[in-house]
Amino acid sequence: MATPPPKLFSFPDAEALAQQLRAYVLRNQNAALARHDTFRLAVSGGSLPATLAKALLAPSDGSPEDSPQFDKWDIFFADERAVPLDHEDSNYRLLKDELLSKIPAELGTPTVHTIDANHIQDDDPQELADLYQDELMRSFAAKDSVKLPVFDLILLGCGPDGHTCSLFPGHELLREKDAWVGAESNSPKPPPKRITLTLPVVTHAISIAFVATGAGKKEILRKIFDLEEGRSIPSALVNEGGGEKVSWFTDHPAVDGVSFPRRGSL
């Protein structure tokens, strides 16, 4: 039987998207807290942190369902660049500037799992990736029998070439089956050295959401949702592996004239 396809949500503007993204993230938070009293989330860099901040820093309606409980959040990075944590290319710095530094004290402070800054200068980012994998293993209390971490939610971006995390079209890392975190030494988008969650980890999450906005994403979204043409595009591989666990939050310009197998309703 075919896996049910991802869901697509499209909104007229950034405000409407942020409002529904907030509801979606908090639904995932509340379900995770009910399961294990912690919310393990992986976030991307790029355009995502600004949208996430717009969603999460909006005033709450006061109900428990609409309240972020940041002190119960464990935030990881879906990918990170091998640069100092205060560098302008750092995904951590971006998240800090957009969101972490603006969280009001009464909402709590999340635990944020950064890369080990002692290894950013290494020629080969493999050690950086291995150390981040160790960090995940500690956080997910992995035993030998645990094959993959299960994130409660992974929030992804989608580059104009269809890359997501630091998984780029045609790169060897797309074939990784065992490692939780991979090393990329030759990213076509600077900076070249990065680490990234691997495809099996991403598709193993309980919920996976892409946020893609603007007319500049229209052509790649058309390809991703064309089952033939999109076949080997990293974001399409997440769709294929994650199926109905995957939701796309887009705005109208990003999907104008693009046809999708399944439009969602919130």
Which residue type sits at 195? I
Residues belonging to the chain = 266
**Of 130, 145, 142, 151, which is closest to residue 242 (Cα–Cα)?**
151
Is residue 217 a contact partner of residue 256, using CB atoms and an 8 Å limit?
no
Give the residue nearest to ligand LXAUTJHC (CB): 46
Closer of 26 and 155 to ligand LXAUTJHC (Cβ): 155
Task: Identify the residue whose tokens are 């600077």.
Answer: 190
In the bound state with ligand LXAUTJHC, the residue whose beta carbon lies nearer, of 108 and 241, is 241
Residue whose CB is less far from ligand LXAUTJHC, 56 or 156: 156
The distance of closest approach from Cβ of residue 141 to ligand LXAUTJHC in the complex, given in angstroms and rounded to an integer, is 26
Q: Please, what is the Cα angle at 162 between 157 and 168, to 5 degrees?
A: 95
For the bound state, the minimum distance from the C-beta of residue 56 to ligand LXAUTJHC, rounded and expressed in Å, comes to 17
* Nearest approach, Cβ of residue 207 and ligand LXAUTJHC (Å): 17
Which residues contact ligand LXAUTJHC by CB under 6 A? Answer: 44-48, 78-79, 91, 157, 159, 164, 166, 189
The answer for residues whose C-beta is within 8 angstroms of residue 224's C-beta and 6 or more apart is: 158, 162, 230, 233, 235, 236, 239
Nearer to ligand LXAUTJHC, 66 or 161 (CB): 161
Q: Which is nearer to ligand LXAUTJHC, 27 or 189 (CB)?
A: 189
> How many whole angstroms separate alpha carbon 89 and alpha carbon 101?
17
Least Å distance, CB 156 to ligand LXAUTJHC, is 6
